[in-house]
Amino acid sequence: MGRRAALSLSSPARPALLVEATGTAAAPSFQDVKIHAGGVSWYGDYLYVADTGHGLRVFGVASHNGRWWFNSSGSKQLYYWTSADGAHTYGWVGGGESISYWEDDTNPDLLWSLQETVGHRNVFAVTQATYGA
């Protein structure tokens, strides 16, 4: 699965959460990537990050089958966007900090997210089909 980035369209100045997969398909897990970003560039499905003092790192952005997935912490919304249909919006959790797509060949695909509120940090998954076809 590699490295993943979660970006917020509602607040572009907000830091992006950069994570890398540490688990397996049977027991998925993620960990934060400790990095000082000296600059970033987003092109296609990849976020290129200048890791100050350590070179260039490349992260995948949450997209799948032509859909770009985003969440907004402040407005409690989950969005996906396609070039053919534009944006689709669904109610979502408050404090949502990230979103990752987990494709599974034998079970329903999942959307993994991190919810971070004062004193709490919850990692959870929902069936992707709940939020669009």
Instruction: Give me the residues of the chain with pLDDT under 50, please.
Output: 1-3, 8-11
Contact by Cβ (8 Å): 132, 67: yes
Burial of 76 (0-12, 13-18, 19+ CB in 10 A): middle
Among residues 95, 92, 61, which one has the least CA distance to residue 78? 92
Domain with 67 in it: 3-131
Predicted local distance difference test score (pLDDT) of residue 84 = 81
Q: How many domains is the chain partitioned into structurally?
A: 1
Q: What is the pLDDT of residue 2?
A: 47
Q: Is 88 exposed, middle or buried (0-12, 13-18, 19+ CB in 10 A)?
A: middle
Residue indicated by tokens 């979502």: 92
pTM over 0.75: no
| pLDDT value of position 86 | 79
